[in-house]
Amino acid sequence: MRIQLLLFVIIFSIAFSATAQVNTPKYANEFLAIGVGARAAALGNSQVAIVNDVTSGYWNPAGLLDQTNDFNGMLQHAEYFSGIAKYDYGAFSMRLDTLSALSFSVIRFGIDDIPDTRFLYDASGALNYDNIRFFSAADYGFITSYARKLPVFGGLKVGGSFKVIYRKAGQFATGWGFGLDVGAQYELKKWKLGATFRDVTGTFTAWTHNTDSLITTYVQTGNLIPSTTLEVALPRLVLGVGRQFYYKKFGILPTFDLTVTFDGKRNTLVKSSFASVDPVMGLEISYAHIAFLRIGVKNYQELKNFDSSTYAVAEPTFGLGFKYKALVLDYALTSVGVQTESLYTHVFSLMVNLDKKDE
């Protein structure tokens, strides 16, 4: 076991050093940072330590071992920017035995029916709206996750997620990528501890551009015509803690996560040229494991006034959940920036829990 851990550290150090020297965009593949599950959205995305269902394949694969049923399935839909962008998620997980579990997840974030006005004017120079074409820009993530309980430290749970990324901008460009997440969960005196290394080896996305469809525009603007480009998302570490308390039929679950990024200074609570730290927290109150009320806080930022003074903001989140037999319906109200009506987002997810005897 010690040899395996040592090899893991060495491999990660080499990968991190290699990717750190690449000219990497700070927000590559950000659609994979939105999060999945209305429960998570309502808790400010603080999930790494407490996740225990099919969404573990995204948040922390080790959590798959805590699902209480043989099979979990989930569907989620959300719309951003007043319905312009659609975010959909589907996943399925299963317990293989008492020590291992497996899941498959699909994510799509896309904007459809984007007007292409390059041919708005016909050959005679007149406006012809019939020449407007439409295309979609969509990002897809396909995730396969595996978790296993180890016979060390009283039952340490570990897991890994292999991600395949497909991105398409109409007929103009396509990108394929891959990456790896690893995670662990551990329970210490009723405290749940969790850690996830996202993009542990760096997530690479190779873009191929259709230069034939853009050559006229590039010639008119004098820009260079790229044929291929490469994006690399650097690793990020997420640490979490949570604990479940009970009082009669009521349950109280506070949870807290820290996301540490290594791609330079970000607008977070703690920031430096080496790493930035972004805290999130949530609180879930349940009644008889049937009804759930959730609140959270995320995305702490400092914004600047016109006089160059700064002020702090954070995004509150809210949600409800209901469980009836095998069905779990969750709702969350969240946002994607400073709170305005156009940025509020309603997130719905439906989970089905089944056992082999129910088949």
**Residue 108 pLDDT:** 95
Domain housing 181: 2-358
Q: Where are the beta strands (DSSP E) in 49-99?
A: 71-80, 85-97
User: What is the domain count for the chain?
Assistant: 1
Report the sign of the C-alpha dihedral through residues 344, 251, 243, 199, in that order.
Answer: negative
Give the per-residue pLDDT at 225. 66
DSSP string, 129-145: GGG-EEEEEEEEEEEEE
Characterize the bridge pairing of strands 236-243 and 191-198. Answer: antiparallel
CB 43 within 8 A of CB 296: yes
How far apart, in whole angstroms, are the C-alpha atoms of residue 100 and residue 97?
6
Terminal C-alpha separation, the chain: 39
| Residue recorded with tokens 């990108």 | 175
Count CB atoms within 10 A of the CB of residue 19: 20
Asked whether 300 and 321 are in contact (CB, 8 A), the reply is: no
Q: Per-residue pLDDT tens for 68-102?
A: 899 999 999 998 887 889 999 999 999 999 899 99
Q: In this structure, what are the phi and psi dihedrals at residue 56, rounded to the nearest 5 degrees?
A: -60, -30
Per-residue pLDDT of the chain (359 residues; tens, 9 = 90+): 433 333 333 333 333 333 333 445 556 778 888 999 999 999 999 999 999 999 999 999 999 999 989 999 999 999 888 788 999 999 999 999 989 999 999 999 999 888 888 777 777 778 878 778 888 899 999 999 999 999 888 789 999 999 999 999 888 888 999 999 999 999 998 999 999 999 988 888 888 887 777 676 676 777 776 677 888 888 899 999 999 999 999 999 999 999 999 888 888 888 888 889 999 999 999 999 999 999 999 988 888 888 878 888 888 999 999 999 999 999 999 876 655 445 788 999 999 999 876 54
pLDDT for the residue 348: 95
* CATH label of the domain that carries residue 309: 2.40.160.40
Q: What is the structure's pLDDT at 2?
A: 38
Tens digits of residue pLDDT in 332-343: 998 766 554 457
Residue 25, judged by CB atoms within 10 A of its CB (0-12, 13-18, 19+), counts as middle
Considering only CA atoms, which of 97, 98, 99, 76 is closest in space to residue 86? Answer: 76
Query: Closest Cα to residue 16, out of 203, 272, 265, 258?
Result: 203
